[in-house]
Amino acid sequence: MPEPSYAILLVPTDLSEPSLAAVRHAAVLARAFGSRVVLAYVMEDRLPAVFAGSGRAERDLVERHRERAGTTLAETAERLLPGVDVRCVVRAGVDWREIVALAREERAGLIVMGMHGHGFLVHALAGSTTERVLHHAPCPVLVVGQDQKPKRAARKS
């Protein structure tokens, strides 16, 4: 069995606090392993019906959302991943499917993602993005809870 490689870390984020906690953990891992981070945001590829208008207006809104997401990802990378090689990616589609596809495309060695505590009813009805990624990912997945703070590894003398 080949040695695991953490050369590429995929870090999907929805910019919530749990997912930003995962970005902080990925920063520590990236520095320790010299990894490249692929910071990803997956957005719906269409607006909910209540907001949908003409095809052109809807496409414009989706495109503005994509641009804002890209800007916010870049700002997040600057703030939380200084000194780390980062590529920001905005995708549209079903979140867990896009995360799994991106992990394959990027040949990620590890996915680092946060976990939301939505409660039993939401989980029972829809499952969770994290759970679906765990079941379909082509590589290991590190799941970070919101209250888990990363610690720097002690250096050996």
Tens-place pLDDT, residues 78-131: 999 999 999 999 999 999 999 999 999 999 999 999 886 554 544 444 458 888
Cα gap 51→48, rounded to integer Å: 6
Q: Confirm whether 2 is domain-assigned.
A: no
Listed in sequence order, the residues at least 6 apart from 87 whose beta carbon sits closer than 8 Å to its beta carbon are: 36, 37, 38, 39
Q: Confirm whether 156 is domain-assigned.
A: no
Average pLDDT across the chain, whole number: 83
Q: What is the pLDDT of residue 88?
A: 97
Q: Confirm whether 153 is domain-assigned.
A: no
DSSP E strands, 13-138: 36-43, 85-92, 110-114
57 pLDDT tier (thresholds 50, 70, 90): confident
* pLDDT surpasses 50 at 10: yes
* pLDDT surpasses 80 at 149: no
Angle between helices 95-106 and 129-136 (to 10 degrees): 40
Token output for 33: 């392993």
b (16+ CB within 10 A) / e for 27-46: bebbeeeebbbbbbbbbeee
Query: Which residue in 46, 60, 40 sits closest to 103, CA to CA?
Result: 40
Q: What is the pLDDT of residue 59?
A: 74
Q: Confirm whether 125 is domain-assigned.
A: yes
Q: Confirm whether 61 is domain-assigned.
A: yes
Q: What is the pLDDT of residue 9?
A: 98
Q: Confirm whether 85 is domain-assigned.
A: yes
Q: Identify the domain containing residue 48 by its residue range.
A: 8-144
Q: Confirm whether 40 is domain-assigned.
A: yes
Q: Confirm whether 121 is domain-assigned.
A: yes
Task: Indicate which CATH number applies to the domain containing 116.
Answer: 3.40.50.620
Query: What is the tally of structural domains in the chain?
Result: 1
48 pLDDT tier (thresholds 50, 70, 90): low
